[in-house]
Amino acid sequence: MKSLYGKFVLSSVLVLAAGLVLSYLIVNSAYHRVMKEDNDAKHVAIAGSMAGFIGENDNLDLDRYLRTQADAGYILYATDREGGGTFYGGPFDDQTLPPGTVENVLSGEIYHGMRDLPAETFWAGYFANDLANTAGVPFTYDGRPHALFIRPDIALLFNELHWLTAIMLVSIAVIGFLAVLLTAKHLIRPLTELTEATNRVAEERFTDLPDIRRADEIGQLSDSFRRMAGKLAENDLARKAFISDVSHDFQSPLQNMKGYATLLMDPELSAGRRLEYAEIIRSESSRLSVLSGQLLVLTSIDQFKELPEHNVFSVSEQLKETVRKSRWPFEEKGISVTLDAEEASVRGDRELLGKVWENLLSNAAKYTPEGGEVLIGVSGAADFVTVTVEDSGPGIPPGERDRIFDRFYRSDKARSAGGGTGLGLSIAKGVIALHGGTISAGESPAGGARFTVTLPKKRPA
Ligand code: ADP
């Protein structure tokens, strides 16, 4: 039995059958412990009342009286000696009594056959239609001692009850079995649907997800599955878009290089042109080298669950050093750079954070027009350090302030100006997130861009 459906049905049927067997055993034990004694006492009392009635009526037609009792639903045996007597109703299946029983009753004892019959089961005890399974009392008739043995005629009295009980048991079994089949189907169908959907998702087909609306655990499983499939579909799209962006960004500089290299092969080319084309090829190849370096950083950030390196170091010192190193592009455009840095340290990866500051400063230099100004601030609070980089450039329109952190996102202006890969800020965001911090873009007081980075002093464990 391999399927869950089969197992469920089989185990439910076994439970049902075990329930029936167990309830039979319980009824059996209840009969032997409690009811057997009561049943015996009840019939001894009935037999006693018959005996009393016979004793009180001297002219009674005994034979007729006992026949009437038989018609009322009893099987009787009346005798005045050992080995002989008359049976009424019935008949008994076994007409023997334990030896000496009649003798004892004739001498005044009461016979408790219903209580003392050695029967293992309720069935054999309650229903055994034997003379030994009777209540026996003495009575006097015609001046002579007699013995009267009685038991109810079960077949006559309880015939309808037998049928009703049998119909009830069969109905319980059939209805129970059908209910088990339906419940199993209801429970297992969504699991089958989910399994099929899992197989589709494994083949990267994210459509036709089962819509199972239930409040139970299967409903929760289905919700989690839909969320997971949604996330996988999103990742799949992002991965495909990433690959297409990467190939496009590699393709265009390569095409340029190929084109200018072909032009360079012209022997008639003037020295001035030759230099110009060689310069274009150099700048395109350095763009490719930056791009592949950034891709490597991005992939490694993606793989990190936590920072591989972390030391405590001064962010202010690191920024001072970065400003010193990237002075040239600012000086070239006559941009004034002011650094207002409080002493502040963080725990983190020095090299990765260095890339963030380099990117923010190179963007500031790139987008700020000649003669503009750039302000860099570092301030430390109790739990975190804030770094701001403001410029007097064109700024970033509010609608783009979130998207500039997406991979390969470049504003149209930046795109048409050429240069830049659109990866710098997404790397910055990844690095800051790895440090448990945040980075956001806003507007500087001079109307340019303002980047704010906050880093927790103690990195979350
Ligand atoms: P790149 O600068 O290589 O294009 P980035 O990821 O560093 O890539 O930046 C993404 C985009 O954000 C840029 O193309 C530009 O449109 C915008 N941007 C970044 N820094 C500035 C800034 N200081 N001023 C104006 N726009 C900016």
Ligand 1 centroid, distance to 410 Cα (angstroms): 6
Average confidence (pLDDT) over 26-33: 80
Q: Which atom of ligand 1 is nearest to the CA of 367?
A: 24
Q: Is residue 353 located within the same domain as residue 266? A: no
- The answer to whether residue 388 sits within a structural domain is yes
- The tally of domains found in the chain comes to 3
- The answer to whether residue 204 sits within a structural domain is no
Tens-digit pLDDT profile for residues 14-24: 888 898 888 88
Confidence of residue 415 (pLDDT cuts 50, 70, 90): low
Average confidence (pLDDT) over 294-309: 84
Ligand 1 centroid, distance to 409 Cα (angstroms): 8
How confident is the model at residue 418, as a pLDDT?
Answer: 60
Ligand 1 centroid, distance to 447 Cα (angstroms): 16
Contact by Cβ (8 Å): 319, 355: no
Tens-digit pLDDT profile for residues 90-115: 788 888 888 888 888 998 899 998 88
Q: Is residue 327 located within the same domain as residue 396? A: yes
Among 157, 183, 202, residue at a domain's last position = 157
- The answer to whether residue 294 sits within a structural domain is yes
More confident residue, 104 or 128: 104
Q: Is residue 412 located within the same domain as residue 364? A: yes
Q: Is residue 148 located within the same domain as residue 42? A: yes
Confidence of residue 391 (pLDDT cuts 50, 70, 90): very high
Q: Is residue 257 located within the same domain as residue 386? A: no
Backbone φ, ψ for residue 269 (5° rounding): -65, 135
Q: Is residue 149 located within the same domain as residue 258? A: no
Which has the closest alpha carbon to 105: 41, 59, 39, 47? 47
Q: What is the pTM of this model?
A: 0.59
What is residue 396's three-state secondary structure? coil
Q: Whole domain around residue 384: which residue ranges? A: 307-456
Confidence of residue 81 (pLDDT cuts 50, 70, 90): confident
Among 300, 322, 341, residue at a domain's last position = 300
Q: Which helix (H) or strand (E) holds 9?
A: helix 4-30
Ligand 1 centroid, distance to 276 Cα (angstroms): 27
Beta bridge mates, 199: none
Q: Is residue 446 located within the same domain as residue 311? A: yes
Average confidence (pLDDT) over 345-371: 94
Q: Which of 295, 355, 404, 429, when mutated, tests ligand 1's pocket best, judged by the most ligand atoms within 8 Å of its CB? A: 404
Q: Which atom of ligand 1 is nearest to the CA of 415?
A: 14
Residue 104, class by beta-carbon neighbours within 10 Å (0-12 exposed, 13-18 middle, 19+ buried)? middle
Q: Is residue 312 located within the same domain as residue 272? A: no
Contact by Cβ (8 Å): 147, 136: yes
Give nearest CA residue, ligand 1 atom 11. Answer: 410
Ligand 1 centroid, distance to 290 Cα (angstroms): 15
What is residue 420's three-state secondary structure? coil
Indicate the average pLDDT of the chain. 88
CATH number of the domain residue 272 falls in: 1.10.287.130
- The answer to whether residue 317 sits within a structural domain is yes
Which has the closest alpha carbon to 434: 452, 409, 406, 460? 460
> Cα–Cα distance between 38 and 45 in angstroms, integer?
10
Q: Is residue 254 located within the same domain as residue 118? A: no
Q: Is residue 452 located within the same domain as residue 314? A: yes
Average confidence (pLDDT) over 26-41: 82
- The answer to whether residue 136 sits within a structural domain is yes
pLDDT at 459 over 60: no
Average confidence (pLDDT) over 187-214: 87
CATH number of the domain residue 407 falls in: 3.30.565.10
Tens-digit pLDDT profile for residues 247-301: 988 998 999 999 999 999 999 999 999 999 999 999 999 989 989 999 999 888 8
- The answer to whether residue 180 sits within a structural domain is no
Q: Is residue 257 located within the same domain as residue 352? A: no
Annotate 251-282 with b (16+ C-beta within 10 A) or e (fewer). eebeebbeebeeeeeeeeeeeeeeeebeebbe
Q: Which residues line ligand 1 (CB under 6 A)?
A: 359, 363-364, 367, 391, 393-394, 396, 404, 409-411, 414, 420-426, 449
Q: Which atom of ligand 1 is nearest to the CA of 423?
A: 6
How confident is the model at residue 404, as a pLDDT?
Answer: 94
Strand order in the sheet with 449-456: 336-341, 373-380, 384-391, 449-456, 438-443
**Taking each helix axis from N to C terminus, what angle separates 424-434 and 271-303, rounded to the nearest 10 degrees?**
20
- The answer to whether residue 231 sits within a structural domain is no
More confident residue, 87 or 27: 87
Q: Is residue 66 located within the same domain as residue 121? A: yes
- The answer to whether residue 213 sits within a structural domain is no
Among 123, 157, 191, residue at a domain's last position = 157
